[in-house]
């Protein structure tokens, strides 16, 4: 029977949750790296026991950890993230120039084919790559040095590159998203980039339809249909059917179109999930009810999924990297909260139950489906 391994990053360490394919009894391992902020853990699709973790601290900076045995043991690898060439400035919150400074790794995206190749999205926004299992890191500077770079500005969490989507069909095509610059796409493996934000509209920036400057919270794709992208923006849920050339709003009947994560069902490319949050000023669910919303039509028509989720007095948030799906049938959906719960549904969202309830605030959730 298949197994599932859930990788959870929290404000105070990493946890590895495992179950068989029934997904009703879970073993919890951790905390790993107790006391450190774990922004993200992710496994190599090419070697499922090869895991990478971003470990950071305001005191001691960035550490990258690597495991070769599915998270049982770990070793620190390279943590030297040096921007390539002159860094210049981006905009600060008040619009004044601010020097580019490395703060942390937000997201690690291993190559689908090579366990030693992994991409890192960092704050201040840039994309790095390692081809030696994380021992050394090189920036792909064409992104940061895009002519718009000096106008990028941070979102509330920092100027982070938080999403990396490697197109499984078109070699060399990568989508990334930066808060608050927007989506960029490369078709030449990271040498050159162009903004992919046409159709986005954001209040709070001088030109609401500007080419760059949108606070994109998360983008997602289904591997079978990589030209279709879904986006949770600061406000608005969006969809692109042309690989980011243009976007249209699909918020439809959501109770709020503010939120952070968005993900796609493993087997149904038009089934997508979001977690509506009341507003950018109140980072908690509307009406104190934690509801995952599902659309089976690729947006616009949404249904609330509530069975097993707290429906009163709930004021947690679900951060941008804290939702994931497994590849079993039926598809499992996983959501981690800032209250330390990880909720799982083994039936595509119909019924939910907590795997764990008292972790530190959850920053990220990834899922592996294992033989």
Partner 1 sequence: MIRVVLPAHLRTLAGVDGEVKLDVEGLPTPRAVLDALEAGYPMLRGTIRDQVTHQRRPFVRFFACEQDLSHEPPDTPLPDAVATGAEPFLVVGAMAGG
Residues of the shown chain interacting with partner 1 in the complex, contacts defined by CB under 8 A:
34-36, 57-63, 76, 79-80, 82
Spatial distance between the Cα atoms of 258 and 231, rounded to a whole number of angstroms: 11
Could you tell me which residues are beta bridge partners of residue 199?
none
* Comparison of 58 and 206: residue with beta carbon closer to partner 1: 58
For the chain, helix, strand, coil in percent to 5 are 0, 45, 55
What kind and span of H or E run contains 8? strand 3-10
Spatial distance between the Cα atoms of 201 and 212, rounded to a whole number of angstroms: 11
* Comparison of 299 and 339: residue with beta carbon closer to partner 1: 339
Spatial distance between the Cα atoms of 45 and 5, rounded to a whole number of angstroms: 13
Minimum Å gap between C-beta 68 and partner 1 is 16
* Comparison of 79 and 311: residue with beta carbon closer to partner 1: 79
Minimum Å gap between C-beta 4 and partner 1 is 29
* Comparison of 57 and 113: residue with beta carbon closer to partner 1: 57
Minimum Å gap between C-beta 11 and partner 1 is 9
Could you tell me which residues are beta bridge partners of residue 131?
none
Spatial distance between the Cα atoms of 36 and 350, rounded to a whole number of angstroms: 34
Three-class secondary structure of residue 236 per DSSP: coil
Minimum Å gap between C-beta 83 and partner 1 is 10
Residue 129 phi/psi, 5° resolution?
-140, 140
Minimum Å gap between C-beta 59 and partner 1 is 4
* Comparison of 46 and 63: residue with beta carbon closer to partner 1: 63
* Comparison of 63 and 370: residue with beta carbon closer to partner 1: 63
Judge contact between 216 and 231, C-beta under 8 A: yes
Judge contact between 280 and 341, C-beta under 8 A: no
Minimum Å gap between C-beta 359 and partner 1 is 17
Minimum Å gap between C-beta 73 and partner 1 is 11
* Comparison of 13 and 226: residue with beta carbon closer to partner 1: 13
Could you tell me which residues are beta bridge partners of residue 75?
66
Closest C-alpha to 18, from 318, 334, 349:
334
Residue 337 phi/psi, 5° resolution?
-115, 165
């Amino acid at each position: 029977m298949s197994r599932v391994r859930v990788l959870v990053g929290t404000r105070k360490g990493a946890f590895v949750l495992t179950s068989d394919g029934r997904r009703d009894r879970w073993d919890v391992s951790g905390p790993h790296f107790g006391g450190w902020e774990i922004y993200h853990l992710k496994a190599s699709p090419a070697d499922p026991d090869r895991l990478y973790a971003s470990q950071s601290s305001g005191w001691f900076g960035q550490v990258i950890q690597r495991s070769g045995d599915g998270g049982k043991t770990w070793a620190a690898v390279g943590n030297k993230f040096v921007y390539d060439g002159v860094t210049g400035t981006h905009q600060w919150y008040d619009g004044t120039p601010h020097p580019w400074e490395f703060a942390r790794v937000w997201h690690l995206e291993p190559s689908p084919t090579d366990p030693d190749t992994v991409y890192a999205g960092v704050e201040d926004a840039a994309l790095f790559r390692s081809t030696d299992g994380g021992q050394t890191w090189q920036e792909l500077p064409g992104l940061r040095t895009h002519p718009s770079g000096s106008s990028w500005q941070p979102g509330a969490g920092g100027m982070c590159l938080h999403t990396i989507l490697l197109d499984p069909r078109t070699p060399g095509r990568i989508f990334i998203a930066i808060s608050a610059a927007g989506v960029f796409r490369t078709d030449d493996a990271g040498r050159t980039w162009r903004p992919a934000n046409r159709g986005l509209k954001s209040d709070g920036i001088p030109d609401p339809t500007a080419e760059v400057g949108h606070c994109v919270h998360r983008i997602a794709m289904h591997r079978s249909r990589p030209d279709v992208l879904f986006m949770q923006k600061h406000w608005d849920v969006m969809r692109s059917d042309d690989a980011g050339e243009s976007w249209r709003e699909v918020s439809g009947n959501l109770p709020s179109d503010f939120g952070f994560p968005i993900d796609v069902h493993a087997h149904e490319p038009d089934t997508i999930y979001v977690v509506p949050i009341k507003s950018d000023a109140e980072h908690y669910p509307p009406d104190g009810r934690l509801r995952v919303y599902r659309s089976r039509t690729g947006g616009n028509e949404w249904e609330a999924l509530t069975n097993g989720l707290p429906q009163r007095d709930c004021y947690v948030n679900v951060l941008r990297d804290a939702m994931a799906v497994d590849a079993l049938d039926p598809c499992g959906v996983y959501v981690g909260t800032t209250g330390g719960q990880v909720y799982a549904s083994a039936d595509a969202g119909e019924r939910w139950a907590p795997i764990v309830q008292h972790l530190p605030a959850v920053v990220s959730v990834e899922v592996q489906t294992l033989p």
